Amino acid sequence: MSIVVNLTQIIENINSAVSRRNSRLINGSKDVKLVAVTKNHEVAAIREAVAAGVIAIGENRIQEATQKAQILKEHVEWHLIGHLQTNKVRPAVQLFDLIHSVDSEKLAIEIDRIAGALGKRQDVLIQINMANEDTKFGIASKNALALGTFISKLEHVRLCGVMTIAPFYEDIEQARPLFRNMYQLFMELKNVNLANTNIEWLSMGMTNDYIVGVEEGSNLVRIGTGIFGQRQY
Ligand SMILES: *Cc1c(COP(=O)(O)O)cnc(C)c1O
């Protein structure tokens, strides 16, 4: 299957998932943005996706993304979807339009410091570990408001929403309750009206579970395998 064919099918699936949810949910932004996850794929694959209409590229390693960005001529949005260590914040802030994976005050402070030095306001999401898995990064949902409040006071960081990675379920219906809770959390964060924030993105859904994610209110899906096929490691 080609990248274009895969993308066409995914967009169709997203649109029908949106039409199934709209009567139930109001989440500020009805449009769903697709982040094409290109980790472990060549720049040629990114080009093909961009030619087919993709505008946002997701990577989880700073170095790999930076190298690709140097080669890629096309203008795209760069999204950091993987864990960010404090010692890699500088190159991350230099490249990424949106960092999906902020999960501590310490990291937020470092992003603020570097962004200030670079004269940038860095857009970020808070990563939530909804299923409380030991193997995943992210904060517990009960701590989201506190971290959001903390970030809202940082001058060079702008909180734009929340992100989660669901556990891998054979039966994707099992992700639904977790996505529902995530939508609630997103709306709570939006409704507290924190100063200096722009809570607009609910980043949830990958190849395996994006349809359920969108049905439950996601407006930012991160899809790799479904577009590019299996990754070679
Ligand atoms: C790799 C990755 C994705 C994409 O996963 P696929 O199953 O290939 O769609 C999405 N989000 C994060 C955080 C990832 O690391």
For 147, left (φ over 0), alpha (ψ -120 to 50), or beta?
alpha
CATH number at residue 103: 3.20.20.10
Residue 2 inside a domain? The answer is: no
d(CA 125, CA 102): 6
Output the pTM of the full model: 0.96
Q: How many helices (H) and strands (E) does the chain have?
A: 9, 8
Output the pLDDT for position 28: 42
pLDDT digits (tens, 9 = 90+) for 150-194: 999 999 999 999 999 999 999 999 999 999 999 999 999 999 999
Using the atom order of ligand 1, give the atom closest to the CA of residue 227.
Answer: 9
**Ligand 1 atom 7 nearest Cα:** 207
Q: Which two tokens stand for residue 78?
A: 């760069």
pLDDT digits (tens, 9 = 90+) for 108-124: 999 999 999 999 999 99
Residue 98 inside a domain? The answer is: yes
Using the atom order of ligand 1, give the atom closest to the CA of residue 207.
Answer: 9
The SS3 call for residue 125 is strand
Q: Write out the residue range of the structural domain in which residue 132 sits.
A: 32-225
The SS3 call for residue 180 is helix
Residue 163 in contact with ligand 1 by CB distance below 6 A: no
Number of domain units in the chain = 1
Residue 180 inside a domain? The answer is: yes
Using the atom order of ligand 1, give the atom closest to the CA of residue 226.
Answer: 9
Residue 8 inside a domain? The answer is: no
Query: What angle in degrees, to the nearest 10, is found between the helix axes of 62-71 and 43-51?
Result: 60
β-pairing, 157-164 vs 201-203, is parallel
Residue 13 inside a domain? The answer is: no
Estimate to the nearest angstrom the gap between the alpha carbon of 204 and the chain centroid: 7
Residue 138 inside a domain? The answer is: yes
Residue 194 in contact with ligand 1 by CB distance below 6 A: no
